[in-house]
């Protein structure tokens, strides 16, 4: 049985956070029959620039079918910069389509803003930059 992951990259996402999620999956696949697969997504299907200035091409848009996948929102220092009502609505629909809906780094702020987290435990520095 394989498991498929989708990573939604928001502008300014943490490259370290993304790689920390993907690399263990890649290594696990080397020691066992390919068990894990993944796709990179953006809101519009276009490349996304990380907080380190590097841009990554993606495999599709968040509008794509997510049924049966696990979706993780990956953000960075300013997690709500790309937040919109459309993104919130799509994430709420994804909650019902996906096996797992989660976040990496400050992606939890995005899930919380969309009303999908009752409590958000995040990095203190990100909390301070929001003026809280």
User: What pLDDT is attached to residue 53?
Assistant: 97
Cα gap 71→52, rounded to integer Å: 23
Cβ-based burial of 132 (10 A; exposed 0-12, middle 13-18, buried ≥19): exposed
Binned average pLDDT, 10 residues per bin, the chain of 132 residues: 92 97 95 90 96 97 88 96 95 93 94 82 53 52
**pLDDT on residue 32:** 84
pTM: 0.88
Predicted local distance difference test score (pLDDT) of residue 130: 52
Place of tokens 């020691």: 31
Q: Determine contact, residues 66/45, Cβ cutoff 8 Å.
A: no
Contact 25, 5 (CB under 8 A): yes
Structural Rg of the chain based on CA atoms: 14
């Amino acid at each position: 049985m394989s498991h498929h992951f989708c990573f939604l990259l928001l502008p300014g996402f943490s490259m370290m956070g993304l790689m920390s999620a993907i690399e263990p999956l890649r290594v696990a696949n080397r020691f066992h029959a390919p068990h894990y697969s993944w796709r990179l997504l953006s809101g519009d299907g276009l490349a996304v620039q990380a907080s380190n200035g590097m841009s990554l091409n993606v495999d599709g848009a968040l509008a794509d079918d997510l049924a049966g996948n696990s979706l993780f929102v990956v953000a960075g220092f300013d997690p709500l910069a790309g937040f919109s009502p459309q993104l919130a609505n799509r994430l709420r629909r994804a909650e019902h389509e996906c096996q797992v809906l989660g976040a990496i780094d400050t992606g939890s702020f995005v899930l919380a803003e969309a009303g999908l987290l009752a409590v958000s435990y995040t990095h203190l520095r990100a909390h301070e930059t929001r003026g809280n």
